[in-house]
Each structure stands twice: as C-alpha cells, then as structure tokens.
Structure 1
C-alpha cells in the first residue's frame, strides 16, 4: 500500500514539498482523521502505556486526560497556523516563526529543536516492533532493518500519501484488537472486579509510593502537570503540525479536533491492558538479563488469544510503528530543508531541489533512528524521548503564543528558549531512578523539596522549564522594549490568520490532479 500510494491522488509532479511533504495540502476529513490519529497514537504508546500501568498503576493513565485536553487547545490555535501557512506557503512551524518575528536565528532554534526532539521519537517506534519480536522468540535485528528499508523506500517514492493511506489499515487493526481484548480477556480472568482486585493486591506488596489503582497525595500534582505539559507539547512536534497543514481547509481541522477524542477512549482501554496483565499473572520477558516491561502486552496477547488472533494483534503493533515513523521522518526532513538548507546553504533552491533534499534527509533520519536502537541501550533511548518532551515544550512561546500575539521580542524569545532548555536539562539530570540504579535522567518528576519548599510533592520538569522560559521571555521583552532595541518585522497580517479554502490570499496550489 505504501508503494501504491505514489499513484493515489497523484498530481502532475511530486517535485515540491507541498506535494511530497504535505500531500498536496488537500486531505479531507476522513483522511486527516486517520492520518493524525495514526501519527499521534503510535506503537510505542500501544506498548508503553500499558507497561507503565503494569508497573505504576494509576499514574500510567495520565495519557488519557492529556489526549483529551489537547484537542480544545489545538482547535483554538492550529486553525490559525493552517490559515497563515496557506497564505504564505509555510511548510514547517519554523517557517512561521521566521516570518512572524523576522528572525532567522529564532527560526533555526525552533527547527533544530524540532529535529532533535523528533529523532528519538522515531527510534522509539522500533520499541514496539522489538517487543513483538521478543515475544515471538525472534532474535537479531534483521527484521527491524528490513522493515525500515521498506519504510524508507515507499516514503521516498510516495511522501506523505504513503502513511496517510496505510493509516487506514493501522487504525482498523488497532480498533479491532483493542475492542476484542477488553471484551474477551476480562471474561477469561473472572471479570473486571477480579482484574482490579488483583492489581491492587500487587501494588499493596510493593514499596513504591506511586503504586496503586488510585493516585496518592504526593503524585497528584505531577499527574496533572504531566498531562497538561504533554498536551501542550503534543502539537508542537513537527510531525503533528505536518498532519494539520496537509488538511484541505479549516473545517477539516475543526471536525477532527472534535472527533479525535474517540482515540482517547481507545487509549484508555489500551491502558487497562496493564491491569489485565497483572490479573493474568504475566511476567515481562528479559532482554540482556533485564526484565523488559515493554513486552507485557505482546506476552499477554500470546497467553490469552488464539495464535491466529495474536498474530493479528502483533501486526497491528508493527504497522502502528511504520505509520508515525514515516510522518516523523518527513517532518524532520522538511525542517532541515526549509530552515537550514534553504536558509543557510542554498537560498535560491528550486521547489524540485527542496523536494530532492527532503527525500534524501528523510532516509538519513531513518538510518539514524535504526542506529539509535542498534547501538544504544533501549532504556537510554526511552530516556531520550522523555528529554524530547521537555525540549519541544521550549518552542511553545515562539510557535504557540506567536500565533496569538506579537508582543514578545525576538531576542527575548531566544533567551527564554535557551534558559528553559538549560533549566530543564539540569532538573532531568538531578532526578535518579533507584529501581534501575540510575543516578541521572531517571524520570520526569522533579521533587519540589529541592527548591527549598516544605513538601514531598513532585512536578513535571517540562512545566517548570517552560515557566522559566516564559519568565525570561517576558522580562527580556520588557527590558528590550524599554531600551528600544530593534525588533524583527512581522511579515504576516491580521487577516492572514483567518483565511480559508477559496480565499484569494491562499497560496495557489495545483490540487486539481489530486482531488
């Protein structure tokens, strides 16, 4: 299907980022639904959320409220990004920042931040495939290498159309597997009452304060801030923006933001698999002599389902990795092409040259993702994704708030970005993980007692780092405004943020061949 996608809605030429990287900006409500859903709900989510619930209980359910909170925020903000991007032909969020604040340096910071935060996210899609292969008893990395060679080939040929088409299959498979799981497995285990009782009995025997089917007083604030911070970060990732910009008009985005919480319902059901695994007595498989909790879901399916349906479930996880990995690699490649290659290396690059560079860079990104898994400790890769969430949040003032106000000074935004990154990295560095014997980068919950407060409560590092970012950006803006420091020119107009399909200001794209 990935290779067939090259002929699906095929335009006269694929040699432009509008066509290769954004699918002609012509996707309607249904295609956008599957594309964004396939982009945000990944294979890593499929295995990691239940694994977190299996190990920590209620704390693992933070993913459910965060994927509910995010859609009203996106409803209000990203339709403005869609409009201004279609008026000016923006392909990446850094394109918007470049025009909004007249600052190539700030745009470069946003672009590099997006690429750095996305790379480990791509690598982590392999964790889902690895978990399945481990459960099947397959050794070696050759299946992953083959999968990503195929992924690279069809993405190079078909661009964003490939994951958009494959997302239909991926989402149908996941819906079928999860609905069958929540109806079938609890019945075999003695009902939901027994599932929750078994989970609570397990957590009562463990000393970790966060364990339990309910939150306790020390982790409630962190739970709320982690959900809010994750929601604010989700649509700052370049691959999320790519799915939005590929939509045909503003109404497509509005309909999807209203309907996408249906995925959050499924995510809640996915999280319950962690409790089912406890009741079923499932034990994680070992990798290099260490328990690998990411194998909980595949092992649960292997124990509870007939072999043919377990194979179908494994296929859902596998294809659930390839769809988002393709979108992420395209988004990272577009950032490099538009905001590094064209801005600093070849200002007069043609659309064809831009598309060619993006195709090549998308291959490089995929190779880098595979090397992350082959050469690094998988636990370290997961820590990189944790760091990625803190990093991408630091683009919120420039990208998210920039869509609403031009008040911030460009230099103040750059100073706030740097201060937020330094603060975030320092806090992550000081967090240990006693259970895994790690002294640094052991989690994302920062102990407020380290700031001199008389409390045992913890807070998500990303929100604290963002607070530092905003404080520096606001104070810096006041100082620079008082000093009458020169600011960049805003190339956008007020009406640009309200333009819609059919508006004469919207960039004319040759979409006739793709509709």
Structure 2
C-alpha cells in the first residue's frame, strides 16, 4: 500500500546524508588539490591521478547507478526473468574491455586525449568522424543522466514530498529541479574529484543496504521459497505479460540485449572518463579484474523485484508505477530510520553517476566541438571554463528527456542511449587494434547504424507511449525479436567493412595517423607509479 503523507523520520535521515554528500562535493576541490586547477585534465579527469581503490569506487559509482536500484528491479517486478539480463551483461563486459581499455588508457596518456573522440581524431585524422563520435556520446549520455534524476524522483515520491499525480507540472517535477540544482553546483565547483570522493559514501551505503535487504526482507516474507512462489503466481495469472522463466520466444531478445549492452557499457563517455582518470595502465587492468564483484550485488538487487511482488507492493493499485516498487518495498519492510538510509543509498547512487556523466559530456563538447570547430586557439583555462558551463547545459538536456518522455519504465531511457552509443564501437575499439578501416567507411557505417536504430526504436510502442516504448524489434532475416542496438551494430560493421574494401580498392586517400604502435602499450611516467593510497598527492601528467 502506498504511503500517504510525509515519512518524516525517513526524510530526515535521507536529508542528513544528502547534505553530507553535498558538502563533500564542494570540499572535494581541496582533495588532491591541483597545481593548475584551470586545466581540463584537472577538472575533467581529476589530474589523471586515481589509484586502484579510488578508481574502483569511482567506476562502481559510475556504472552501478539509479538504473541498478530502480529500473532493473522494476523490470523484474513487471516482466520477471527478462529483467535479469543485466547480470550476464556485466559479467560478459569486463573480460571484453580488459582487452582494449589498457590500450585506450596508454594512447590517451601519451597524446593527452581527454575523450574517446580525441582518440578517433588522432587515429583517423578525421574531424567529421570525431564530431559524430562526440555528438553521439552527448546524445546517449542525456537520457542516462535523466534516469538518475528519475531515481531521485521515485524516492521522493515514496517519501511523500514528490507531489501527487494531480499536482501541476512544476510541483510534480520539483524534486528533479532541486536535484539538478545541487548536482550542477558541486559538479561546476569540483569537477571529477566530487563524484570520486562521494563514491566512497555511496558504495558503502549500497553494500550495507543490500546485505541487510537480502537477509532481513526474506525473513519477514517467509523465505526465498515463498518469494519465488509469489512471483510464479503473479506471472502465471491470466493476462500476465511477464514470466518467471524466460521462454523460447524470448531467448533471442534476452541474449542479444545482454551481449549488446555489454559491448556498449564502456563506450559511454562517463565510463571512459573513469578509466582515463586512472593513474596507471596496471590500475586499469586491476580494476577490470575486480569490478565483477559488483555483478554479485546486481543479481541481489534484481531479486528485490520479486520481493516487492511477495510483499504485495502495488497490488490492487490501478496504474501503479513499477519504478516505485523498490522504494515502496523498503518503506513497507524497514523501520523508518533504515528506510531513510536505503533511500539515501538510492539518491546518492543517482548523484554520483550523474555528476560523472555531465562531466564526460562536457569534456566532449569542449574538446571536440568548441576547441575543434569554434575556437582552435582556446587555452587550457578557456577549455575548463567552457566545460563547466557545458556540464550545466547537459543537465538541462537530461531534464528535457525526463519531462518529455515516458517514465513508466525508466530503463528505456538508458536502453535508447545504448542503441546510439554502441554505434561508436567500431571506430573506437576497431581503431585500438587496426588502422585498416577507412575513415569514410566508418562514418557511413555509423550513419546507417544510428538511422536504423533510431527508426526502429521510434516504432516501438508500449501501453504508456506510442514511440520509444522499448528496445527490441524483429531481427531482419532471422525473424526473431532481438535488441535493436545489436542489429544496428551488425549493420554498422557490414557497411564499414564493405565500404573499406571498396575505398581501398579505389585507392581513395586516407589521412595521417598521429599515433604509433608503441603508444598503445605505453606505461605512465615512472614518477607517477607510487602507492595506490588515495591520500597520496600525485603530480599532473604532461599534457
């Protein structure tokens, strides 16, 4: 049953943690204080100085977001087994990225690249290709930031301060504007150091809440057997659209969504930003080896969707929003004070990645649009100033996504971004291993993948929206339903390969590659290879 009125005890605890991390966000500018704060390496990459533990918390805070807490359990709550696609996709992702992220780190450190588009520009010598990679990154990041704001709104709705469905649009969406203001202020002030510092609090709260939830809630509900029985009963009921076990017709969709999402995960600008902020090549490798520890947490989080069913969350409530299932479960099951702790974990779990995402998108705009096309003579101080302003504009774009698009299944916001960002994979990852692909073929492949993916996603409807209602459609030639992003990616690769063969045969001139083979295995300068203690001050690497 939905809570009526304001839960003052939970709200008070929530606000205490919210204020704590906000203060930490502003004070972060003094943590590892930069020799030259007016440099994009400092504001946008934290001085490229984070050791293993800081990077682990930063990437964990970056990749495991409000999407994890709100959207995945909501999908499990509404659709059943299909929502567990997030577990295998994170398991698949890390062995894949272990192969190429150290190479990206090395070449970026040698040439001072701040964004993936910087690397594409240097590798292929193509301004148009670099531009489309940058624009795709910004476009894909906006709905991802929006998802974080939706997570905060879900928590405040359950707390009783989010406005009712009958409220006017300003009152109803006031929590989003408040979250925007707080996030914008400390991101502008402290850059990447803010989410890196706050991530310690976020991850500690997350693990605490999840460990308590997977032990305490089943005890109250009669054990996991009773929980799965309740879920089976719901999904076997007439008219149910979900399933406790993925059926034969859904297996293609499950597998392609998991694999496509794995390919896309580290194409996002915020993922690359966390990696490039690392101190050394070994730091990157160590983190890719230990990051799967978060996948265990993700599987436990997904189970919260089944627990919400067993607890009767939303039962008999007409038009119940599934994205409220986990916040409502916490309020129903936990004492009020611990509900506040749990809601703080979700809220901070939204603020940390949203900050990193806005910084990453701002870096793309500054380096690959502003400096490349608008002001080539921009100084490092100019770049930093523009990046700070751009980070504000990106958040405005994310707010537009939230206000104008369907939020019933918040996961669709992120999946739409995944369709787009996956189309940069060929240019970035392909370029890390070979120079064979022709720049014009890569541009054509990207255009085909983006056009097909957007067109197909636009045509997907759901009970709540006519367009962009999901990320699956029929795979041409196979006849099975699969992930649109992966189908678009396959078309992208085919067009790129065929056109490269044609252009090479026609001897169409290629551009200059500013990188060399040794750049891809280069280590950090010896003077930066010191202990990984987060307190140790690090010199700024040469840009």
Tell me, yes or no, whether TM beats 0.5. yes
- 1:159-188 C-alpha deviation (Å, 9 max, x unpaired): 100000000000000100010000000011
Aligned-pair CA distance for 1:137: 1.5
Q: Which residue of 2 aligns with 1:226?
A: 257
Is the contact made by 2:55 and 2:274 (CA closer than 8 Å) also made in structure 1? yes
1:194 aligns with 2:194: no
- 1:365-409 C-alpha deviation (Å, 9 max, x unpaired): 123323433455434975443221111110011011111111100
Partner secondary structure for residue 298 of structure 2: helix
Q: Which residue of 2 aligns with 1:155?
A: 187
Q: Alignment partner for residue 142 of structure 2, among 85, 103, 119?
A: 119
1:498 aligns with 2:521: yes
Q: Which residue of 1 aligns with 2:506?
A: 483
Distance in 2 (alpha carbons) for counterparts of 1:495 and 1:374: 48
Aligned runs of 1:132-147 on 2, under 5 Å?
Answer: 132-138=155-161, 139=163, 140=171, 141-147=173-179
Distance in 1 (alpha carbons) for counterparts of 2:96 and 2:43: 28
Is the contact made by 1:177 and 1:313 (CA closer than 8 Å) also made in structure 2? yes
Partner secondary structure for residue 364 of structure 2: helix
Change over 3 Å in CA distance of 1:36–1:226 after alignment to 2: same
- 1:243-278 C-alpha deviation (Å, 9 max, x unpaired): 000000011111111111111100000000001111
Distance in 1 (alpha carbons) for counterparts of 2:454 and 2:185: 36
- 1:72-99 C-alpha deviation (Å, 9 max, x unpaired): 1111101000000000000000000001
Aligned-pair CA distance for 1:131: 0.8
Distance in 2 (alpha carbons) for counterparts of 1:366 and 1:333: 10
Aligned runs of 1:224-373 on 2, under 5 Å?
Answer: 224-283=255-314, 290-373=319-402
Q: Which residue of 1 aligns with 2:132?
A: 109
Is the contact made by 1:80 and 1:497 (CA closer than 8 Å) also made in structure 2? yes
Partner secondary structure for residue 407 of structure 1: coil
Distance in 1 (alpha carbons) for counterparts of 2:538 and 2:310: 53
- 1:401-422 C-alpha deviation (Å, 9 max, x unpaired): 1111111000000000001111
- 1:187-245 C-alpha deviation (Å, 9 max, x unpaired): 11111111111111110004356x22211101112111111100100100000000000
1:86 aligns with 2:109: yes
Distance in 2 (alpha carbons) for counterparts of 1:168 and 1:227: 28
Q: Which residue of 2 aligns with 1:182?
A: 214
**Gapped runs of 5+ residues in structure 1?**
none
Change over 3 Å in CA distance of 1:7–1:196 after alignment to 2: same
Distance in 1 (alpha carbons) for counterparts of 2:133 and 2:278: 23
Change over 3 Å in CA distance of 1:492–1:504 after alignment to 2: farther
Distance in 1 (alpha carbons) for counterparts of 2:316 and 2:121: 48
Distance in 1 (alpha carbons) for counterparts of 2:432 and 2:198: 32
Is the contact made by 1:120 and 1:381 (CA closer than 8 Å) also made in structure 2? no
Is the contact made by 2:444 and 2:495 (CA closer than 8 Å) also made in structure 1? yes
Is the contact made by 2:67 and 2:411 (CA closer than 8 Å) also made in structure 1? no
Partner secondary structure for residue 61 of structure 1: helix
Moved more, 471-480 or 400-409: 400-409
Aligned length, in residue pairs: 502
1:421 aligns with 2:444: no
Aligned-pair CA distance for 1:446: 1.4
Is the contact made by 1:284 and 1:292 (CA closer than 8 Å) also made in structure 2? no
Change over 3 Å in CA distance of 1:83–1:482 after alignment to 2: same
Q: Which residue of 1 aligns with 2:7?
A: none
Q: Which residue of 2 aligns with 1:28?
A: 51
Moved more, 2-11 or 368-377: 368-377
Change over 3 Å in CA distance of 1:250–1:200 after alignment to 2: same
Aligned-pair CA distance for 1:458: 1.3
Q: Which residue of 1 aligns with 2:11?
A: none
- 1:401-455 C-alpha deviation (Å, 9 max, x unpaired): 111111100000000000111111222233333xx0644432222124xx465x5
**Gapped runs of 5+ residues in structure 2?**
1-23, 164-170, 530-536
Q: Which residue of 2 aligns with 1:213?
A: 244
Partner secondary structure for residue 446 of structure 1: strand
- 1:289-335 C-alpha deviation (Å, 9 max, x unpaired): 84211000010001100000001101111111110010000000000
Distance in 2 (alpha carbons) for counterparts of 1:505 and 1:54: 47
Aligned runs of 1:430-441 on 2, under 5 Å?
Answer: 430-433=459-462, 436=463, 438-441=465-468
Is the contact made by 2:47 and 2:540 (CA closer than 8 Å) also made in structure 1? no
Q: Which residue of 2 aligns with 1:387?
A: 416
Aligned-pair CA distance for 1:489: 1.1
